[in-house]
Amino acid sequence: MTQAPLAREEFPVGDRCAYLNHAGVAPLPRVAFEAGRAADEAWMLEGVTASDRYEARTEQIRVAAARLMGVSPTEVAFVKNTTEGLSFVANGLDWSPGDRVVVPDHEFPSTIYPFLALERLGVEVERVQPEGSHGALTLDAFEQAITGGRTRLVVLSWVQYATGWRTDLAALADLCHRHDALLCVDVIQALGLLPCNLDEWGVDIATADAHKWMLGPQGVGVFYIASRHLDRLRISEPGWNSVAHRDDFDRLELDLDPTARRFEGGTHNYTGIATMGASIDLLLDAGLPEVWRHVDDLCTHAREQLTDLGARIVTTPDPDHRAGILTFRLDGPIGVDLWRHLEDNHVVCAPRGGGIRLSPHGWNSTDDLDRVSEALRALS
């Protein structure tokens, strides 16, 4: 295996355990921690006089985040989490009774709850059933659901949190547009790991917070909306920062900013954005193709070892539909009991999808995955 594209020294958590839960909450790299500490120190020592500097840094990070997603910086807003971004969509579109939202069944709760809440308006939520042992979400299944009524929106996670199934967003976007539906994607389980070209793929809206594959802090994230759709979403949280004349407090007109910044409402979380920005820079400097190649190799290594131990691999082996998640099931201790056994053996992972979910990143090594196998062998 090639050298890890992200320096292990950036992740001191690796000194005490095999950390394989980036699909849950990632550990902060040192560079991100230092960026956040520097921002807090600036506010402590300088107060409001640090504002111009951190506003300029925030705009630099907007450019970097846009590069990470493959979109224009004018199409990127900062949000506090994925749920907020999805709620902007649910609460921003004009709905009529009988409108339909298509979403996969067994999705992460935050990807479906904002749209279930629309049922009070007469909006119907159609759930696409995953197929087979790998939880496949096929284009045929989406097409059948989309054509079943007046579908306005398709919402899904790029990568399913429990099984690791990755959907071809370009193909799904094409299908949605042929049926006059928008495609909104929760990209939290892939952004920062997989090379991403949302604009090229035709994705209309996407959102993610930073604390998983982006290696950032909790409570801050990004929201993308294609410029052609800016005026289709009503602003549900307007504030002083939403308008084009944000620095003129005496001009009380709701003249919305012409970019995605209109969704930002109030004051930025400058410390959180600075912390996230350092992690984004770390990933971009390493190169997402290299990061993804390394993680895919790690998952392949783990798959082979787990198969030798008799584990059933939930995650598909198809290179076009897998990502950084590898979920497996084992006869004997299952679920929480097996997870606790691994935790006792200093392996940090998660019980998901009726089994155990592993999610290494670009700084992990095969030694980290070998600790999983060693711990499982100790059960026999």
Please report, for the domain that includes residue 98, its CATH number.
3.40.640.10
321 and 229 in one domain?
no
Q: Are 134 and 319 in contact (CB under 8 A)?
A: no
Which is it for strands 18-19 and 205-209: parallel, antiparallel or unpaired? Answer: unpaired
Residue type, 7: A
Structure tokens at 195: 């090379």
Answer whether residue 176 is part of any domain.
Answer: yes
Q: Do 86 and 133 lie in a common domain? A: yes
Query: 197 and 295: one domain?
Result: no
Nearest to 108 by CA among 234, 212, 223: 212
| Residue 250 included in any domain | yes
- Rounded to whole angstroms, how far apart are CA atoms 206 and 155? 9
In a domain, 210, yes or no: yes
Tokens 């000194």 belong to which residue? 15
- Assess whether 279 and 292 both reside in one domain: no
Residue type, 343: E
Q: What is residue 350's predicted lDDT score, i.e. its pLDDT? A: 95
If asked whether residues 265 and 342 sit together in one domain, one would say: no
Q: If you ran DSSP here, which 8-state letter would residue 3 be given?
A: P
Q: Which residue has the tokens 């006089």?
A: 49
**274 lies in the same domain as 356:** no
Residue 321 lies in a domain: yes
Please report whether residue 26 resides in a domain: no
Q: Are residues 172 and 132 in the same domain?
A: yes
Which bin fits 78, alpha (ψ -120 to 50), beta or left (φ > 0)? beta
Is there a single domain that holds both residue 269 and residue 354?
no
Q: For residue 75, is it within any domain? A: yes
CA 171, CA 162: separation in Å to the nearest integer? 22
Last residue in a domain, options 229, 256, 284: 284
Residue 2 lies in a domain: no
Q: How far is residue 131 from each of residues 101, 146, 171, 352, measured CA to CA in Å?
A: 20, 17, 18, 18
If you ran DSSP here, which 8-state letter would residue 325 be given? -
Model pTM score: 0.96
- Could you list the residue range(s) of the whole structural domain that residue 327 is in? 8-20+287-377
Which of 92, 96, 106, 176 is CA-nearest to residue 134? 106
Per-residue pLDDT, 333:
60
What distance in Å separates the CA atoms of residue 62 and residue 239, rounded to the nearest whole number?
A: 19
Among candidate residues 251, 284, 317, the one where a domain is terminated: 284
Burial 294-314 (b: 16+ CB within 10 A, else e): bbbebbbbbbebbeeeebebb
In three-state secondary structure terms, 265 is: coil
Using the 3D structure, point to which of 284, 300, 333 is the last residue of a domain: 284
Token couple for 93: 């579109």
Rounded Cα distance, 266 and 262, in Å: 10
Q: Are residues 195 and 341 in the same domain?
A: no
Please state the domain count of the chain.
2
Regarding whether 99 and 208 lie in a shared domain, the answer is yes
269 and 291 share one domain: no
* Series of mean pLDDT values for 10-residue runs along the chain (380 residues): 90 97 98 98 96 95 98 98 98 97 96 96 96 96 92 98 98 97 98 98 98 98 97 95 94 96 96 98 98 98 96 96 96 77 95 94 97 89
Which pLDDT score is estimated for 353? 84
The verdict on 229 and 245 lying in the same domain is yes
CATH number of the domain that 302 lies in? 3.90.1150.10
Domain-located, residue 271? yes
- Cβ(259)–Cβ(190) under 8 Å? no
Q: What is the pLDDT of residue 307?
A: 96
* pLDDT value of residue 1: 62
- Would you give the DSSP letter of residue 47? G
